[in-house]
Structure 1
Amino acid sequence: MTENFRQAVAEGQFLVTAEVAPPKGGNPVRMLEVAKQLKGRVHAVNVTDGSRAVLRMSSVAASTILLQHGIEPICQIACRDRNCIGLQADLMGAYGLGIRNILALTGDPIKAGDHKKSKSVFELESVRLLKLIAKLNSGVDFNDKTMPDEPLNLFPGAAVDPQLKSWSGLQKRFEKKLEAGAQFFQSQMITDFDKLDKFMNQIACIDNKPILAGIFLLKSAKNAQFINNYVPGVNIPDATIERLANAKEPLQEGMKIAAEQVKLAKTLCAGVHMMAVKKEELIPEILDLAGVEPVWN
């Protein structure tokens, strides 16, 4: 069990996290290979929980595998697939297995994924999940009954999207997550750094909880256009797409763009959350390009 991430937050370090997906099957070898390459470069590795409603290995199980190999996870827990009993059971199980960092999520809609006939649960959403974690940390369950076998000590975080069109809605939701106990925030993919700047100066400034800007590796102009077409709320600028389209080596250009964004984020917020789908092994090189020093773990 390691708690480097919580310690780095407490010390006010520039935070670096990265995202990996659990295997779609029973073999975690590729996930482990990728995560091992991130060791020493990030404070913790996010393990997704049915992202985009696509079936993958349990985030709790995958996070435990990382822990067994000395890699600190941030275990994502989404409300879509579990009722309150299941959520509490998984949170207790995660804690018992040594997992400490939890990212509380509502979860993507079923229609986005690969099991479109499945039924959503959504008994809770992210704010109520954060409140539930606070209860479990205080030693009581959802029904305010004392837990006889000791409280948990989880370190909960939440997602935020500084690019939401509704500014009042963004502020209200952010404040609710703060009140519910979120200790850190990881943002969705940032494409508009002016909006991130505005968010940091007008909303996030009400509290000192760290904000980690989501930095996404764009692999090509086609990849960027696909994201624009199919990822709600994301608007990659035409200039960025043209830059990728005109590059002799689009992937290398995408890495340069990501590194430039990391440098921008360093001037605005407390950290970065790196996302490089199927190219996670390139994250250390992007961090080198951005001048981000290795971390201790």
Structure 2
Amino acid sequence: MSNLQVTPSDSQSSLSRLQVAARSGEFLITAEVMPPKGIDPTHMIEMASLLKDRVHAVNITDGSRAVLRMSSLVSSVLLLQRGIEPICQVACRDRNSIALQADLMGAQALGIRNVLALTGDPVKAGDHPEARAVFELESVRLLNLIDKLNHGSDFNGNALTDGATDIFAGAAIDPQCGSWSGLQRRFERKLEAGAQFFQSQLISDFDRLEKFMDQMASGCNKPILAGIFLLKSAKNAQFINRNVPGVQIPQTIIDRLAQAEDPLYEGMVIAAEQVQLARQLCQGVHMMAVRREDLIPKILDLAGIAPLNQV
């Protein structure tokens, strides 16, 4: 494996590809890839490499669903070595404020510029239910922490004597949240804490997304990326309805999948249609195709989204 070619000056000299695209008003595309459950990153790298010219950045999960996987920081560096821009997810569940700051400064030094600040899923949901959760911070306070690091001080207000970070920090948002007032309060707090972009949870109700964009996100001047999920079958859609809070896949979609000769392809067509809907409402999409990330370029083709180098 080649050595990482990043120097401190490299890590502080330029904006991330995602940040440049966000500032210029481009339609942003990100995609989610999971780190390996073990030490072999081959599959993760293969999937991310297929996305290199189709997305602005690849989102690397941090213990999603509280399931043990390779470090998101290390996985992000492995992608960066291969010229693939990562978004390093950082969850508060497993680290206190000292460890979070240490990882964020280290990420900056290694050339990682994009971070998605998350609270993290509860430990009991995962494969180590007896592990001890930390949760000293949650996502809003983590955004505040990043903002302080970017302004040259630590979480306690002490100066960073060896240089500030310059992290492009994002946050998660759920326009389908059951409480509209709760959604607004959370969104406004994340904006005030320094969130520079937002990636949504899986969107199944685009009328609700439109309402969110019109009534809440209008004028915030921060990119909102709609979460687009590849449904592989009617059974897959029904599983999501049973197990993912706040998501209700419409029966019309389930029927389309059930009646299709090729349910996986129909799911790709549905995802492409949703990308087109999102393009009319917000500034980007966050693509999720668990274990079939190789299909994301085909979905983007179906949606009429050209490779980035052809835009």
Structure 2 Cα separation of the partners of residues 258 and 206 of structure 1: 27
Quote the Cα distance in structure 2 between the aligned partners of 1:154 and 1:79: 17
Q: Using the TM superposition, give the Cα deviation of residue 3 of structure 1 relative to its aligned residue in structure 2, in angstroms.
A: 1.4
The reply on whether 1:6 has 2:23 as its aligned counterpart is no
Amino acid in the other structure paired with 2:196:
Q
1:132 aligns with 2:145: yes
Q: For 2:221, which of 203, 208, 230 is the aligned residue?
A: 208
Structure 1: give runs of 5+ residues left out of the alignment: none
Between stretches 204-213 and 61-70, larger displacement belongs to: 204-213
**Structure 1 segments (4+ residues) deviating >3 Å:** none
Structure 1 residue aligned with 2:251 = 238
SS in 1 for 2:308: coil
Could you tell me how far 1:245 is from its partner in structure 2? 0.7
3-state SS of paired residue (1:123)? coil
Q: Is the counterpart of residue 63 in structure 1 residue 76 in structure 2?
A: yes
Aligned counterpart in structure 1 of residue 86 of structure 2, from 73, 88, 102 = 73
The within-5 A match list for 1:226-265 is 226-265=239-278
Note the C-alpha offset of 1:233. 1.3
**2:103 is the alignment partner of 1:102:** no
- Offset of 1:238 from its aligned partner? 1.1
Match of 2:8 in 1: none
Displacement of 1:88 = 0.5
Aligned partner of residue 120 in structure 1, secondary structure: coil
Q: Are 1:165 and 2:143 counterparts?
A: no
Counterpart Cα distance in 2 of 1:20 and 1:280 = 7
Determine the structure 2 residue equivalent to 1:40.
53
Name the % identity: 68
Match in the other structure for 2:169: 156
SS of residue matched to 2:121 = coil
Residue aligning to 1:294: 307
Residue 281 of structure 1 deviates from its aligned partner by 0.3
Give, as a single letter, the amino acid of the residue that structure 1 aligns with 2:238. Q
C-alpha distance in structure 1 between counterparts of 2:69 and 2:219, whole Å: 37
TM score, norm. by length of structure 2 = 0.94
Is 1:196 equivalent to 2:190 in the alignment? no
Paired position in structure 2 for 1:177: 190
Residue matched to 2:285: 272
Range moving further from structure 2, 167-176 or 226-235: 226-235
User: In the alignment, residue 86 of structure 2 is paired with which amino acid?
Assistant: P
Q: 2:204 aligns to what SS in structure 1?
A: coil
- Structure 2 distance, partners of 1:283, 1:14, is 16
Residue deviations 1:97-137, cap 9 Å, x none? Answer: 11000000000111111111011111000000000000001
Report what 1:219 is aligned to. Answer: 232
Cα-to-partner distance string for 1:134-186 (whole Å, 9 max, x where unaligned): 00011100110011110000000000000011001000100000000000000
Matched residue type, 1:154: I
Please list every run of 5 or more consecutive structure 2 residues that lacks an aligned counterpart in the other structure. 1-10
Distance 1:34 1:66 in 2: 10
CA deviation map 1:35-65 (0-9, x unaligned)? 0000100000000000000000000000000
Q: Deviations over 1:174-223 (max 9, x none)?
A: 00000000000000000000000000000001411000000000000111
Letter in 2 for 1:115: H
